[in-house]
């Protein structure tokens, strides 16, 4: 009888890979890059991300929105990528404005100032694929925001597929006061807001909302396209994090971090944790 060869290292499926990252989140312990264990293409990486979203949803951690990554030219060039990436925001990731985030629940968190939008109506990503008019009309509110990213990989080191599988490092977010988008656009040029990130009152990073795809409003079209390509839904109420306006800053315990987006407003959080 011919011998059937047994592969020495069978490629784990997306549920197994998602479980590794999920456990890394829950244990706040970094893991080796998935791509070192098995080569992943972009579709496989998004399949791992979706499997991770299902794991959280099965625990009752609802999906509340989406986020874009690699929206700044500098970060995209650094990663050698030509397109944005998309991740999923869960209810448990939300921190109230001026609230407290326990950094001991994270591995090596970093924080970045962002612009957030909220959809007042559902958008079908497959409707009118060449137009962004529906998502622009559905985006009724805008707010200053900060995202906390926390790569689940050792040394915050990853390939493009790794970071997509890891839900684009999404870990937490905080949103300031929502304002009506239409009125805000009459008063402000959303593409030219000066943005400052400070830690305990000392400036840690400065940039411009122009760093977000040239104009944060362009994130809406990008979100619709990425949702269509990667099977995400955009129900009414969805929060959209458009991208970072400065480089991300390491987040320590026992500090207050504030993002000031000139004209749009400010948002802040305190950090707890740091127990020896
Ligand atoms: O939100 C972001 O721009 C981060 C995307 C993932 C890359 C990273 O973790 O730095
Ligand atoms: Mg971000």
Q: What is the pLDDT at residue 6? A: 54
> pTM (2 decimals)?
0.94
Distance from residue 111's CA to the centre of ligand 1 (Å):
10
pLDDT, tens digit, for every residue of 138-171? 999 999 999 999 999 999 999 999 999 999 999 9
75 band by pLDDT with thresholds 50, 70 and 90: confident
Q: Examine residue 129 and state whether it is found in any structural domain, yes or no.
A: yes
The Å distance, Cα 218 to ligand 2 centre, comes to: 15
Residues 162-199: pLDDT tens digits?
Answer: 999 999 999 999 999 999 999 999 999 999 999 999 99
pLDDT at 10 > cutoff 60: no
Residue 113 lies in a domain: yes
Q: What is the pLDDT of residues 83-92, one digit of tens each?
A: 999 999 999 9
Is 163 touching ligand 1 by the criterion CB < 6 Å?
yes
Q: Tell me the CA distances in angstroms from 254 to 35, 40, 102, 210, one per residue in order.
A: 35, 38, 9, 31
Judge if the beta carbon of residue 89 lies within 6 A of ligand 1: no
Tokens describing residue 30? 């970094």
pLDDT of residue 73 exceeding 90, the answer is: no
Q: Is residue 21 part of a domain?
A: yes
CATH number of the domain where residue 127 is located:
3.90.850.10
Q: Print the domain residue range for 49.
A: 14-272
Index of the ligand 1 atom closest to the CA of residue 156: 9
140 burial type by CB count under 10 A (0-12 exposed, 13-18 middle, 19+ buried) = middle
Per-chain residues with Cβ under 5 A from ion ligand 2 = 147, 244
Distance CA 116, CA 244 (A): 10
Spacing of C-alpha 169 from chain mean position: 6
Long-range own/partner contacts, residues 201-205 (CB < 8 A, 24 or more apart): 201/256, 201/258, 204/249, 204/257, 205/112, 205/113, 205/246, 205/247, 205/249
What is the pLDDT, as a whole number, of residue 1?
Answer: 59
Question: Domains in the chain: how many in total?
Answer: 1
**Within-domain flag for 52:** yes
pLDDT at 38: 82
* Residue 7 maps to a domain: no
Q: Which atom of ligand 1 is nearest to the CA of 67?
A: 1
Give the H/E segment covering residue 22: helix 14-27
Residue 123 DSSP code: B
Q: What is the pLDDT of residue 276?
A: 52
Contacting residues for 108 by C-beta, under 8 A, at least 6 apart: 30, 150, 151, 156, 250
State percent of the chain over pLDDT 90: 90
State which of 30, 33, 69 you would mutate to test the pocket of ligand 1, scoring each by most atoms of that ligand within 8 A of its C-beta: 69
Predicted pLDDT of residue 128: 96
Q: What is the DSSP letter of 253?
A: T
Residue 254 lies in a domain: yes
Residue nearest to atom 6 of ligand 1 (CA): 168
pLDDT digits (tens, 9 = 90+) for 228-264: 999 999 999 999 999 999 999 999 999 999 999 999 9
pLDDT of residue 65 exceeding 80, the answer is: yes
Nearest Cα neighbor of 195 from 255, 138, 140, 249 is: 249
Assigned domain for 258 exists:
yes
Residue 204 lies in a domain: yes
Residue nearest to atom 9 of ligand 1 (CA): 169
Half-sphere exposure of 205 (CA within 13 A, CB side): 24
């Amino acid at each position: 009888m011919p011998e059937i060869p047994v592969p020495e290292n069978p490629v784990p499926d997306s549920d197994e890979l998602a479980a590794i990252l999920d456990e890394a989140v829950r244990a706040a312990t970094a893991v080796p890059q998935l791509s070192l264990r098995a080569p992943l293409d972009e579709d496989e990486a998004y399949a791992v991300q979706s499997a991770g979203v299902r794991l959280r949803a099965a625990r009752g951690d609802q999906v509340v929105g989406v986020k874009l990554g690699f929206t700044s030219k500098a970060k995209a060039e650094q990663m050698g990528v030509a397109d944005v990436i998309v991740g999923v925001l869960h209810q448990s990731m939300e921190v109230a404005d001026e609230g407290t985030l326990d950094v001991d629940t994270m591995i090596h968190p970093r924080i970045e100032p962002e612009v957030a939008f909220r959809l007042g109506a559902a958008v079908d990503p497959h409707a009118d694929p060449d137009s962004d008019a529906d998502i622009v009309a559905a985006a009724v509110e805008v707010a200053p925001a900060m995202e906390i990213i926390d790569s689940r990989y050792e040394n915050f080191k990853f390939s493009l597929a790794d970071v997509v599988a890891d839900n684009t490092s999404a870990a937490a977010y905080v949103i300031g006061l929502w304002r009506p988008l239409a009125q805000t656009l009459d008063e402000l040029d959303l593409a030219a807001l000066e943005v400052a990130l400070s830690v305990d009152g000392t400036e840690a990073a400065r940039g411009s909302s122009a760093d977000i795809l040239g104009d944060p409003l362009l994130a809406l079209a990008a979100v619709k396209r990425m949702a269509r390509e990667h099977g995400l839904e955009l129900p009414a109420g969805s929060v959209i994090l458009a991208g970072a306006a400065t480089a991300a800053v390491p987040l320590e315990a026992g500090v207050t971090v504030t993002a000031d987006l000139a004209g749009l407003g400010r948002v802040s959080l305190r950090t707890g944790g740091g127990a020896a």
